[in-house]
C-alpha cells in the first residue's frame, strides 16, 4: 500500500496576546491508503489543531509556520487558495467534534446534503437526493429524516449525519475530530460500530483524533501519540498497546480502561501538560515523567525506530522492556 498522506515537519502557531504559541511543532505523520490512524493525546496537546491544519482551515489567529502536507504526492500547502479549495471535501473531508453547531441550524439536512453534492460534487438535484438517501442508509439513518432540521436530531443522529456528509463525495481521506466524545456511552458504541463497518466496507482511509485510547484500539490499525505539540510515539496499534516505548504512552495506557487486558487500577499521570507559550527545555514530557534522566531535561530526544514501523522519541527507548515493568506499578506514577 502506498502512502496516501505524508506530513513532514508541520508546525502551527497561535498568536495569543502578542505571543506566538506553537500548538503543533514539527510533526511527521504518514497515513497509508486504506488505513485508519488514531491520533491520541490529552486535550490541549494540539491534535485538533493538527487536524484542522491538515484541512487548511484554521481560526484567524492561527497560521501554518512550515512543513508540508502531501496528499497523493501533491503538497497542499503549496497550492493557491482556489486550487486548495477544489481539493477540499472531494479529496479530504472532516467530521467535526461538535455536530450540534456543525450543521447550519436554518437548513434541512437534505438542503445541506444538496449543497455539498451539487455545489461541490456537480450532481444534478435529483441525483443528489438519491445519493443523500443512500448515504443516510449507509450510516444507519432513516432517509425520511432528510427533511428534518438539525435541531430535530439527537446527538448521535447528528454525528451520523455529519459522517454521511463527510462521505458524500467519496474523499480519499476523512479526518474525524473526536467523533464520539459528545455522545453517551451506548450511542458512542453504535457510532463507533458504524465507523468500523464503513472503514471495512469502503476501505476508508481516515485519521481519528481522540483523547480516548479505547476508541483507537477499537477502530484504528495505526496509532500516533501526541504530547505538547509533538508526536512522541507512532506505529501499529498492536505494537503500541503491547509494547509501548515512550513513558507517556505507557502512562496513557495505565490511565485508560483497556478492553483487552484490564489493568488492576487506573493510574492517572500526575501534573499538567506544559504551557506551550514557554515549553520546557529538553523532552517536553520530562517534568511529568517518573522515568526521566538528567539528559532528558537537557536536550530533545529524536524519534528512534524501535521495530519496523514503530518509533518513539525517548532516550530510554532501548530499555523499553524494563521501563514497561516499572510503569505497570502504580507506585511509579505517584510521587
Partner 1 sequence: MAYFGRRFLHMLIVLWAIATILFLLFRLMPTDPSIAHLDPTFTEEQRQLVRAQFGLDRPLFEQYLIYMKNLAEGEFGLSFRQRQPVMGLVLAVLPNTLLLTSSALIVAYLFGALLGASLAWRRGSLFEKISVPLVLATRAAPEFWLGMIVLAIFAFGLNWFPSGGANVAGARYASEWERIFSLDYLRHLVLPVLTLAIYLQGLPALLMRSNMLEIMREEFVTMARMKGLSERRIMLRHAARNALLPLVTAFALGFGQSVGGNVVIENVFSWPGLGRLLVDAVANSDYPLAQGAFLVIAFVLVVMNFIADLMYGLLDPRVVHGEH
Residues that bind partner 1 (CB under 8 A): 55, 57, 85-90, 93-94, 96, 98, 101-106, 115-116, 119-120, 148-149, 151-152
Nearer to partner 1, 86 or 334 (CB): 86
Nearer to partner 1, 90 or 297 (CB): 90
Give least dist CB 291 to partner 1, A: 40
Give least dist CB 123 to partner 1, A: 14
Q: Within 10 Å of residue 78's Cβ, how many Cβ atoms?
A: 11
Where on the phi/psi map is residue 220: left (φ > 0), alpha (ψ -120 to 50), or beta?
Answer: beta
d(CA 263, CA 106): 48
d(CA 111, CA 105): 11
Give least dist CB 135 to partner 1, A: 14
Give least dist CB 81 to partner 1, A: 9
Nearer to partner 1, 108 or 196 (CB): 108
Give least dist CB 152 to partner 1, A: 6
CB 20 within 8 A of CB 62: no
Give least dist CB 201 to partner 1, A: 23
Residue 272 is placed in which grid cell?
499538567
Give least dist CB 104 to partner 1, A: 5
Give least dist CB 99 to partner 1, A: 9
Give least dist CB 18 to partner 1, A: 17
Residue 211 CB contacts under 8 Å (≥ 6 apart), including other chains: 40, 41, 42, 43, 47, 178, 181
Nearer to partner 1, 106 or 322 (CB): 106
Nearer to partner 1, 151 or 242 (CB): 151
Nearer to partner 1, 16 or 151 (CB): 151
Angle at 329 between CA 326 and CA 332, to 5 degrees: 70
Nearer to partner 1, 119 or 275 (CB): 119
Nearer to partner 1, 104 or 184 (CB): 104
Nearer to partner 1, 170 or 334 (CB): 170
Amino acid at each position: 500500500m502506498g502512502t496516501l498522506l505524508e506530513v513532514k515537519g508541520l508546525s502551527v502557531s497561535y498568536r495569543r496576546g502578542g505571543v506566538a504559541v506553537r500548538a503543533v511543532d514539527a510533526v511527521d505523520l504518514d497515513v497509508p491508503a486504506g488505513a485508519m490512524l488514531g491520533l491520541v493525546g490529552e486535550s490541549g496537546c494540539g491534535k485538533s489543531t493538527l487536524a484542522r491544519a491538515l484541512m487548511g482551515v484554521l481560526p484567524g489567529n492561527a497560521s501554518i509556520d512550515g512543513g508540508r502536507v502531501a496528499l497523493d504526492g501533491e503538497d497542499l500547502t503549496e497550492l493557491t487558495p482556489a486550487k486548495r479549495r477544489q481539493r477540499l471535501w472531494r479529496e479530504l473531508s472532516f467530521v467535526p467534534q461538535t455536530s450540534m453547531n456543525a450543521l447550519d441550524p436554518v437548513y434541512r439536512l437534505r438542503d445541506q446534503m444538496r449543497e455539498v453534492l451539487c455545489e461541490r460534487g456537480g450532481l444534478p438535484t435529483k441525483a443528489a437526493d438519491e445519493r443523500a438517501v443512500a448515504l443516510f442508509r449507509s450510516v444507519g439513518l432513516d432517509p425520511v429524516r432528510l427533511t428534518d432540521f438539525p435541531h430535530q436530531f439527537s446527538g448521535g443522529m447528528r454525528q451520523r449525519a455529519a459522517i454521511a456528509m463527510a462521505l458524500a463525495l467519496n474523499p480519499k481521506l476523512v479526518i474525524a475530530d473526536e467523533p464520539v466524545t459528545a455522545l453517551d456511552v451506548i450511542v458512542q458504541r453504535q457510532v463507533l460500530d458504524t465507523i468500523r463497518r464503513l472503514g471495512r466496507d469502503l476501505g476508508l482511509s481516515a485519521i481519528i483524533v481522540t483523547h480516548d485510547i479505547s476508541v483507537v484500539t477499537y477502530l484504528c490499525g495505526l496509532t500516533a501519540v501526541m504530547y505538547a505539540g509533538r508526536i512522541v510515539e507512532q506505529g501499529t496499534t498492536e505494537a503500541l498497546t503491547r509494547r509501548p516505548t515512550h513513558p507517556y504512552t505507557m502512562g496513557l495506557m495505565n490511565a485508560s480502561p483497556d478492553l483487552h487486558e484490564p489493568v488492576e487500577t487506573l493510574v492517572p499521570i500526575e501534573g499538567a501538560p506544559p504551557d506551550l507559550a514557554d515549553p520546557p527545555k529538553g523532552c517536553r514530557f520530562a517534568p511529568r515523567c517518573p522515568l526521566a534522566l538528567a539528559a532528558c531535561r537537557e536536550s530533545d530526544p529524536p524519534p528512534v525506530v524501535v521495530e519496523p514501523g514503530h518509533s518513539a522519541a525517548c532516550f530510554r527507548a532501548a530499555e523499553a522492556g524494563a521501563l514497561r515493568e516499572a510503569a505497570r506499578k502504580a507506585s511509579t506514577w505517584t510521587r
